[in-house]
Amino acid sequence: MKFSRFEELCDEQQVRLHHVIIRAGRSASSGSMFTLEPNGMYSAVNAAGNLLRKDPEQHLASAELDIPEPLAQKPKNFAANVLSAMIAASINPVPATDHSRTFICRKTRNIDCCSNAEGGFSETFTQMYTPQVPLEDHYKPIGYQIITGSHDEPIAVRKARGEPSALTLVKTTINGIPYPAGSIMRMDLLDDRSRDDPSIFDTDLPFDDQRRVGAERVSHAAFIRLSAFSERPKRRKQLFDLEDLSDYYKAGKQVLAQATMRDLTHLAATALQYTEPLDS
């Protein structure tokens, strides 16, 4: 769905969008530095996330928006469904059902959008697939942290390469706002060193250390943007330049081009068998 069609639905239902979301959707730019936005709907979603980071109680629109069922069922309208759910929850927050997937976000300024996250996560999941084999002769094994839920299931992976952003593997909720699997997030642990500036990534993850950590030790989470992984592989190829997003390794490119969220979750669950707890 194009953002112009989303606006038409709002007009038909007399829903007034926040002006920042309108500007982002029409310009296909949320205004965030180094972000990855293939179209206006993605920009609108990311702009909505920016607003909620600055003010968790911000209403994104004057009322909830109902996307007709035939439109909501189409894969190409994924981002529109995400934004519609965010709008509804900004007015009536979603109650917590699984506390291991429910997080709190304090007010923050704009944060790094981790534009190279897809390449970094592609390498990370490739490392999970071949844990004893370095991706290239001159590279050490890649470090990561698998964040687990109340049943020890993987709910997110935090990478060590570049900014230590996290990729969610399941639907999560921050301040009552739902975000889909495949979202890029900042997740700070209670174990992380303190920050003078909460808008900057400054957590050091050892580059070759692979650990698991329970979600109860996540002290703060913030939505950054939707990733290419949030889309189905076929739709992903239509929206993104995967050759540009993937890094230098053939295996990593295959992960980005072909892996579903179920595949990534399975890799993370398998990797839990040979990762050590954070405290060990």
Angstrom distance (rounded) from CA 247 to CA 8: 39
In this structure, the answer to whether residues 33 and 150 fall within a common structural domain is: no
What does the pLDDT read at residue 112?
Answer: 63
pLDDT at 219: 84
Each residue's pLDDT tens digit, 108-157: 555 666 777 888 888 888 888 765 555 554 456 678 899 999 999 999 99
Q: What is the pLDDT of residue 167?
A: 96
Instruction: Single out the residue in 91, 110, 126 at which a domain terminates.
Output: 91
My answer on whether 239 and 271 are in the same domain is yes
pLDDT, residue 138, reads 43
Using the structure block, give the residue that is written with the tokens 């072909």.
258
- pTM assigned to the model: 0.89
Residues 125 and 252 in one domain: yes
Is residue 196 scored above 60 in pLDDT? no
Same domain, 56 and 158: no
Are both 137 and 263 inside the same structural domain? yes
Per-chain mean pLDDT for the chain:
85
Domains identified in the chain, total number: 2
User: At which of 43, 67, 91 does a domain end?
Assistant: 91
Residues 171 and 114 in one domain: yes
Q: pLDDT, tens digit, for every residue of 65-107?
A: 999 999 999 989 999 999 999 999 999 998 877 787 888 877 6
Q: To which residue do tokens 């007009």 refer?
A: 11
Strand order in the sheet with 172-174: 102-103, 172-174, 177-179
User: How large is the average pLDDT for residues 225-250?
Assistant: 82
Residue 188 pLDDT > 90:
no
User: What is the rounded CA–CA span in Å between residue 49 and residue 168?
Assistant: 15
Question: Is 70 in the same domain as 147?
Answer: no
Verify that 247 and 145 share a domain, yes or no.
yes
Indicate the pLDDT class of residue 241, thresholds 50, 70 and 90: confident
Structural domain range at position 35: 3-91
Please tell me the distance from the alpha carbon of residue 228 to that of residue 232, in angstroms, as a whole number: 9
Q: How far apart (Å, rounded) are the C-alpha atoms in residues 53 and 62?
A: 19
- Region 147-173: mean pLDDT is 90
Question: What band does 169 get if pLDDT is binned at 50, 70 and 90?
Answer: very high
The three-state secondary structure class of 277 is: strand
End of a domain among 66, 91, 116? 91
